[in-house]
Structure 1
């Protein structure tokens, strides 16, 4: 069935080509006949398709699923059935079959009278051959496309396209591998963070439970001491009452005796009690209750504060590193621009090009956290700096130069000190900044200290000795300088 359909398709293809050619080259009466014939052919094909469409669809599906080996190519449609080569000077017989002019002429050589079509065996009284220029043009195009030059050019194009697609495929595969590595990293880091967060909160729970046990134990001891004191006082009062009752009994007996007889002498009675009992108790129940009825959560937080890891560090500014235009407070916790440059001693520790200052404390290992009050300042730089930074030169604050900083400009433009700057979105301008340094993980993070919302993290932090870094920046003309403060928190329990 499939072979018959393909053969019919070939015949229909050549038939249409022939009709198109005759309609262009023939007289008007021939054109009219051709149009009517084409209509009848199309109607017949449609009728056949309507009756056999199901079988045709099944056949087409089966044919498409069989490696497409039986699907004829255009080259096969333009092949002479006599020489089995591409048409050379193709001609068309009255039956609409095409052959090479030389092939059909050779086939009819020696025949007299009627001649027949080699394909359909239809006989013709004359040897009338019609040149089909449309088929001839198609044959030339197919022949040109089959040449060595064309094939080589096509191969080169296919090769270039193949290499391009292979390169793109490899690029996509690399992207897939990278994304998979990122996914694995996210999963691994997520698992590590989950364990770490659970550990941190468990430590807080342990601390809180320990504080609860200690507070309850302290309250129990105070209660026992108060109860013991109260019991001792009650015993004293009972003894005093007993002594007083005994004295009353003796005196009562003496009074009764006086009514019946004359006493020559009074009985020995101690009118002053031997037991001395204070009128007011030494214990204060209100003080006991108030101690544990007050702001217990705040008291506990103050007690737990010293156990936090890392607890906020109590930093101070190092005056030997401060730029001469900076003034420090007496306790070295506040720095602000001076109206005039102060006299100073030259030393390699001091910043001389920019209004910078370091903390007196340095860090080499462990995890550390501190908070800096920036208030309403419109520009500043905060972070950490390596001990070895050049303090006599003007350098960009970037990790390449030994600085890991967060900066503010124009009152609202936040950026990380990278190369180039990394713009940051900060919805609510913080009035205090938290800085977290993890020396082992080499990580520097900045937080809004009021909400503890992360602002930015440097994943590749410093290695070696580092100092907290501060820069007030030069105030705009006419603007009153505002200080930067290092914030301190209670370290000792109440």
Structure 2
């Protein structure tokens, strides 16, 4: 019968080599089976010793707990794998949709440009054909007159060689001075009117291109009825400036009374919208969108969970995306104009450097309420003009 190693000695299975007793106890510290004498007076005296049956139960409990832990971790990885597979499927669908959209958008632009080029080429060809045909007609008439005048001049030239008075008078009386064949010789000589095609062609076509562009910078406005008393909204409602003193405005439920904010007039509840805000050289501002139901009284918390998706600037160089935990953004070139793009159904709020059209940050969300643009030029510190926010209007 195979033996068991206990304290370095090989013994019969279930018996202690030193004391000859059954190994009915288990030393937890050295993880060995021992007899009662080993536990009381032997080498395992003072160790944590328990009956084998109890140790077996504890070890099985440990195995069971470890097995459940591994099973739980395996389940976590299975769920993670399922989420990865879902994201793969979603990513493929979004990529396919985006590629289709980009293809359609560029196809529309190409079709527009091709149609503009074709129409302009046809217009040039028609103008050229009409001009050249008219010049050919004038040239043909001119050649005919030259032939007629030459024929009239021939008898005159030959008569110049004689001194016969009668002959000279005869020729003068029988020949014409050519005025009859030159009655239309003063018809205006037209020229090709190319100057009508010499305008700034690309700029002209670019302006016409807006008829096929679905999303362009819109001239949004500020809602003065929501503006904090320390904010002055311009008459055309396209600029807002912080003041050192409060304006004498009426209290209203819609007006901010603590946060130095103002909302836009334009609700966003469907489709895609884009607008640009000129921030000039301002050292601080807040820009974004918010649910129209956000509180107007008390401090605002710029967080998506509070219905606000916002980008901020502080100290002229610290840009932050206000997520549940603020995200500091590293921007190399300070933009003087910020573009804000909202795709309501797509759940996107995108901030851009409007001069380079480079992305600054994007929020993903599932909107459940009407959105409104949110602005804050922050508390005035130096020249208020430096902190003015102005909605950019595209001049077409």
Asked if the contact 1:386/1:464 (under 8 Å) is kept, the reply is: yes
Question: What SS does structure 2 have at the residue aligned with 1:74?
Answer: strand
Asked if the contact 2:4/2:14 (under 8 Å) is kept, the reply is: no
Question: What SS does structure 2 have at the residue aligned with 1:149?
Answer: helix
Q: Which residue pairs with 2:109 in the alignment?
A: 204
1:457/1:329 Cα in 2 relative to 1: closer, same or farther (>3 Å)? same
Q: Which residue pairs with 1:86 in the alignment?
A: 15
Query: How big is the shift at 1:478?
Result: 6.5
C-alpha distance in structure 1 between counterparts of 2:159 and 2:227, whole Å? 95
1:7-406 aligned at under 5 Å gives the runs 73-74=4-5, 78-80=10-12, 86-87=15-16, 147-235=52-140, 237-238=142-143, 241=146, 259-260=166-167, 262=169, 266=173, 271=179, 273-275=182-184, 277-278=186-187, 281=190, 283-285=192-194, 287=195, 291=197, 296-329=201-234, 331-338=236-243, 340-344=245-249, 349-406=254-311
**Larger deviation, residues 385-394 vs 366-375:** 385-394
Alignment partner of 2:343 out of 438, 441, 454: 438
**CA distances 1:362-415 after superposition (whole Å, capped 9, x unpaired):** 333221222222121111111223334444554223334433221111212222
Which of structures 1 and 2 has the larger relative contact order (alpha carbons within 8 angstroms, sep 6+)?
2
Query: How big is the shift at 1:73?
Result: 4.4
1:465/1:164 Cα in 2 relative to 1: closer, same or farther (>3 Å)? closer
TM-score (norm 1): 0.62
- Structure with greater proportional strand content: 2
1:376/1:147 Cα in 2 relative to 1: closer, same or farther (>3 Å)? same
1:313/1:352 Cα in 2 relative to 1: closer, same or farther (>3 Å)? same
2:381 equivalent to 1:476: yes
TM-score (norm 2): 0.75
C-alpha distance in structure 2 between counterparts of 1:233 and 1:72, whole Å? 128
C-alpha distance in structure 2 between counterparts of 1:205 and 1:265, whole Å? 71
- Structure with greater proportional helix content: 1
**CA distances 1:22-67 after superposition (whole Å, capped 9, x unpaired):** xxxxxxxxxxxxxxxxxxxxxxxxxxxxxxxxxxxxxxxxxxxxxx
C-alpha distance in structure 2 between counterparts of 1:490 and 1:478, whole Å? 28
**CA distances 1:74-127 after superposition (whole Å, capped 9, x unpaired):** 37x7444xxx7524765xxxxxxxxx69xxxxxxxxxxxxxxxxxxxxxxxxxx
**Larger deviation, residues 254-263 vs 474-483:** 254-263
Question: What SS does structure 2 have at the residue aligned with 1:152?
Answer: helix
1:140/1:177 Cα in 2 relative to 1: closer, same or farther (>3 Å)? farther
Asked if the contact 1:236/1:277 (under 8 Å) is kept, the reply is: no
Query: How big is the shift at 1:438?
Result: 0.9
Alignment partner of 2:313 out of 399, 402, 408: 408
1:307/1:314 Cα in 2 relative to 1: closer, same or farther (>3 Å)? farther
Asked if the contact 1:317/1:358 (under 8 Å) is kept, the reply is: yes
Query: How big is the shift at 1:445?
Result: 0.8
Asked if the contact 2:159/2:167 (under 8 Å) is kept, the reply is: no
Query: How big is the shift at 1:433?
Result: 1.1
2:357 equivalent to 1:452: yes
Asked if the contact 1:442/1:459 (under 8 Å) is kept, the reply is: yes
Matched pairs, number:
374
1:223/1:153 Cα in 2 relative to 1: closer, same or farther (>3 Å)? same
Question: What SS does structure 2 have at the residue aligned with 1:372?
Answer: strand
C-alpha distance in structure 2 between counterparts of 1:354 and 1:243, whole Å? 94
**Larger deviation, residues 262-271 vs 306-315:** 262-271
Query: How big is the shift at 1:328?
Result: 4.3
C-alpha distance in structure 1 between counterparts of 2:299 and 2:44, whole Å? 79
C-alpha distance in structure 2 between counterparts of 1:259 and 1:354, whole Å? 115
C-alpha distance in structure 2 between counterparts of 1:343 and 1:251, whole Å? 101
Query: How big is the shift at 1:323?
Result: 3.8
Unaligned segments of structure 1, at least 5 residues: 1-6, 8-70, 91-99, 102-132
Q: Which residue pairs with 2:32 in the alignment?
A: none
C-alpha distance in structure 2 between counterparts of 1:145 and 1:397, whole Å? 60
> Larger radius of gyration, structure 1 or 2?
1
